[in-house]
Structure formats: C-alpha cells, structure tokens
Structure 1
Amino acid sequence: MGVSKDYNPRQPSKALSEADATHIIKRIAAGEFLNRIAADYDVNPGRISEVKTGKLFPSLHRPSAWPRRKK
C-alpha cells in the first residue's frame, strides 16, 4: 500500500461546518477523545478543542460541565 499520487502533506485540513460542530459537541459530551474525533473529521485536534471551548461556533450550546476521564 503506497501513498496516493494526489496526497499533499501541505494541504490544509478540512473546514468544519456548524453541523459538524454540533456533532463534535455531542461526541465530546459523550466522553470521546478529542484526537479521535479530529481523525474522523480530518482536522487537527486543536480545531476540536476550539469547538469545545467556543472559540469556533460560539453560538452553539455547550454543556456547563464537560465529562471528566476517570484515572
């Protein structure tokens, strides 16, 4: 299995839509890891964090408290 000839490592990641952000918020609230969500949307985990904190799509409703991982 080789790298596709269309692969460009410098290609910017996909832009998220408001619908994507709504699903991302639900997945974070369900306790999923940010890096796994990011992989599904082909974006950097930082983009998912920006959705979580409200930097992106600030008008969307977010939980008052996010779930915490058990140690």
Structure 2
Amino acid sequence: MASITHLTHEDVSEIKTRLKRGDYQHRIAADYDLNQGRISEIAKGKRFEHVPPALRIGKTGDLDHA
C-alpha cells in the first residue's frame, strides 16, 4: 500500500474534486492504493487543507488545473 506522503498537490487536488463530485472514498482510495481513512482525512481537512480542489471538470471528464 502506498503512503499518503507520496501524493502530489495535483493528486490531492484531483481527490478533493472527486470528493466534491460525490465519488466514494473507498473507490478514490483504491485508485491511489491508499487506505480509505487517508481519503477521509483529506475530506475532513485534517490533511492537505492548504491544497484547493481542481477548478473545474472539463467536458471530457478530465480535470483542469489553474
């Protein structure tokens, strides 16, 4: 299992966007090979509170970053 410390700011931004979109935490965790609890910590602002979500989701479903 990967470590949360290996996430980039872009990864965290995408995770936050997926959470806002309503994706399940366990599915996001599986995509990053993390425990669901780590995604919950991001969702609650206990980790990476300074990283904003991606600005929007493009028409193709790709994330657009500023």
Structure 2 length as normaliser, TM-score? 0.67
Tell me whether 1:21 sits opposite 2:20 in the alignment. no
Q: Residue 49 of structure 1: CA displacement?
A: 0.7
Structure 2 counterpart of 1:45, from 36, 44, 48 = 36
Please point out which of 3, 14, 33 is paired with 2:24. Answer: 33
Percent of aligned pairs with the same amino acid: 41
Question: How far is 1:18 from its partner?
Answer: 1.4
Measure how far apart 1:61 and its partner are: 3.4
Q: Deviations over 1:2-42 (max 9, x none)?
A: xxxxxxxxxx5232221111000000111100000000000
RMSD: 1.5
Moved over 6 A (4+): none
Q: Which runs of 5+ in 2 are unaligned?
A: 54-66
Corresponding position of 1:55: 46
Number of residue equivalences: 51
Greater strand content: 2
Scaled by the length of structure 1, the TM-score of the pair is 0.63
State the alpha-carbon separation in 1 of the partners of residues 10 and 52 from structure 2. Answer: 12
Counterparts of 1:42 and 1:49, CA distance in 2: 14
Larger radius of gyration, structure 1 or 2? 1
Point out the more displaced range, 13-22 or 31-40.
13-22
